[in-house]
Structure 1
């Protein structure tokens, strides 16, 4: 753990998260519907909209293999003014110590949201909250691998959050059930990172969720992160909605797909990830390989079969760096990834 998208009336929701495409697990998908009543941010999700909303799949370990010790699930909704999140986390010992906004919240057990509106892996947002309802919101210009500017002073203006503890926080004498968090993020703030500058109605954004959980020690009734015999903190557990494949949330190409339906909560529509996204995953796989090469001279990307189509990516170096690109056989668009990791699309002839 680092600091810093046709309406349809069928019941079946198309999940694509169980097979492999060029060694890339297909990210999770979720359909977020519009609210049918007013959402009151109290951490309890008692409204009809929330009752009608689908739960996400259960969180998995960040690498996508191990089952977490405790259950975590989320729901999403939206209206013309806000994007809403609700998460429930099983936890027999609900504890938190940090009370200062914009401190490093994942030093406590926390819930985190990562949002990339454009899906270009640049200009994205991170949000963290602990069981004391202390938040950290920040903006990153690029993933850490590309040496970003981390804008820690950026705030989600108008943000509303509330935590509900099912038990007693910071009390080691009892066993808790867990805690939940409810969040309302104003679109006005989120659209600052969206080049389209409009609500994503019937479109998708790339979003992921993470839950950080620590082993703990108790000293005089006070919780703290557990240390080993040498005095070093034991590593945290990172439980996520859509697996990253690596212990790094800051590879946005792995994040899930959230499709914002114009239909009301309680509707049932299907969403399938566009074919070009499969090509993107492959290009990012090659991008990561190329970055690690000491000698990139004369490097060539072999053709590959994506969704029954042969694609022939090219790697090119130029005076300002390098890029890898391909013409999509599905849309005719030129898909490329620059040396700094930014994905770009140029409209083709189809």
Structure 2
């Protein structure tokens, strides 16, 4: 294909970044560029019974996530009911548990792969490789009925979903602090507990579930406060829009070889977040440019990249854009690291 090349060499001092951060693409797309939350996931040596009750000592020791927030992020109302999750792992499973405050526990769907989010549900999104491709979604309602699927890429990039994928070996159970489908009484909460087999969500050998690796993961709770909607979307880490299918904004799940409740370790962010955010700001700008102009562009000026955007990057960084009318590749070589972040029109993210 014929490619147009644009290379901008950038020299930036970190001391000047804050002064310019209010301009350009970083400001335009700030709502969708919040720093994702993170969770250090520890091992359990205890046999976990998947019954929705979280009686094991390991669960009591596992740290809770922050309370869920509105999917659109900062500036939007705090959810009226609290939700927190916890995670652990062992040689076979990733364990997930969540407790959801709920004064009226409801769940009517009984058939697997019904579109569960048409009623109150809990959802897990997992991208083990962190490339935004071929990721997994597992939903369940208060009956424990599952809707699981795999997506080849996000819908914004023309992604397709594969409902025929059933998570092999998945174990799931729910419990109720209250009564199911009885509107006249007042309930307190419902709890979901999952054991997700490593092998079921391992696409290749690039990032298996082993200590030291980091996956991308998010949780969503769909809540219908009134019949007919609109629905509420409460999540662990916000995507900045009413769209869970933005894997670049999912949380970081770091696996530790230490036992849950014992010695702790610090989270180690795998990316330079200034470079990461600018890369994705340019990605969003490309999508918007195509919407308005009918094509992608290799021009940073047309994308709206400003000097203030570039000034946020580490000294010695380099931006490269290759584009045709239908394809693009954006890369940011991160100064001082020897690493280059790359994203294409399909939302495929790589570190080279």
**TM-score w.r.t. length of structure 1:** 0.84
Alignment partner, residue 128 of structure 2: 117
Of 203, 206, 225 in structure 2, the residue corresponding to residue 215 of structure 1 is 225
CA distance 1:122–1:297, change in 2 (3 Å): closer
Deviations 1:106-159 (A, max 9, x none): 011000000011111111000100001100110000000111221100011000
1:28-47 equivalent positions in 2, closer than 5 A: 28-47=37-56
Specify the alignment match of 2:238 in structure 1: 243
Output the CA distance in 1 between the equivalents of 2:194 and 2:344: 34
Q: Which of these residues, 195, 199, 204, is aligned with residue 188 of structure 1?
A: 199
Higher helix share: 2
Residues of 2 paired with 1:264 and 1:149: CA distance?
A: 38
Corresponding residue SS for 2:219 = strand
| Match of residue 331 from structure 1 | 337
Change (3 A) 1:325 1:308: closer
User: 1:96 maps to which residue?
Assistant: 107
Deviation at 1:345, TM superposition (A): 2.4
CA contact (8 A) 1:94 1:179 kept: yes
Q: Return the offset for 1:320.
A: 6.9
- Residue correspondence of structure 1 range 250-269 to structure 2 within 5 A: 250-266=245-261, 267-269=263-265
Q: Give the gaps of 5 or more residues in structure 1.
A: 1-19, 217-225, 227-232
Structure 1 residue aligned with 2:153: 142
Q: Does 1:85 align with 2:96?
A: yes
**Structure 2 CA distance for partners of 1:44 and 1:298, relative to 1, 3 Å:** closer
**CA separation of 1:195/1:151 partners in 2, compared to 1, >3 Å: closer, same or farther?**
farther
1:204 aligns to what? Answer: 214
- The one-character-per-residue Cα deviations of 1:54-75 (angstroms, maximum 9, x if unpaired) are 0000000111132001000000
Give the 3 Å change call, closer, same or farther, for CA 81–207 of structure 1 in structure 2: same
User: Unaligned regions of 5+ residues in structure 2, if any?
Assistant: 1-20
Q: How has the CA–CA distance of structure 1 residues 263 and 167 changed in structure 2, closer, same or farther, with 3 Å as cutoff? A: same
Where 1:157 maps in the other structure, the secondary structure is coil
Contact 2:81/2:102 (<8 A) preserved: yes
Give runs of ≥4 in structure 1 deviating > 3 Å: 275-278, 295-298, 305-312
Cα offsets for 1:239-293 (capped at 9, x unmatched): 0000111111001111000101010001321113134354223211111111111
- Contact 1:141 1:148 (8 Å CA) reproduced: yes
**Is the contact between residue 275 and residue 330 of structure 1 (CA under 8 Å) also seen in structure 2?**
no
How far apart, in 2, do the equivalents of 1:195 and 1:339 lie?
25
Partner residue in 1 for 2:11? none
Q: Distance in 1 between matches of 2:53 and 2:176?
A: 10
Tell me by how many angstroms 1:344 deviates.
Answer: 2.0
Corresponding residue for residue 54 of structure 1? 63
Cα distance in 1 between the residues matched to 2:206 and 2:159:
22
Quote the Cα distance in structure 2 between the aligned partners of 1:272 and 1:307: 19
Distance in 2, matches of 1:159 and 1:209, equals: 17
Q: CA deviation at 1:234?
A: 2.0
**2:351 corresponds to 1:340:** no
Contact 1:111-1:212 at 8 Å conserved across structures: yes
**What's the Cα RMSD here?**
1.9
Structure 1 distance, partners of 2:298, 2:147, is 44
Partners of 2:314 and 2:297 in 1: how far apart? 30
- Residue 318 of structure 1 and its aligned partner are, at CA, apart by 4.6
The answer to whether the 8 A contact 2:128-2:208 is kept is no
Verify the 8 A CA contact 1:206 1:256 in the aligned structure 2.
yes
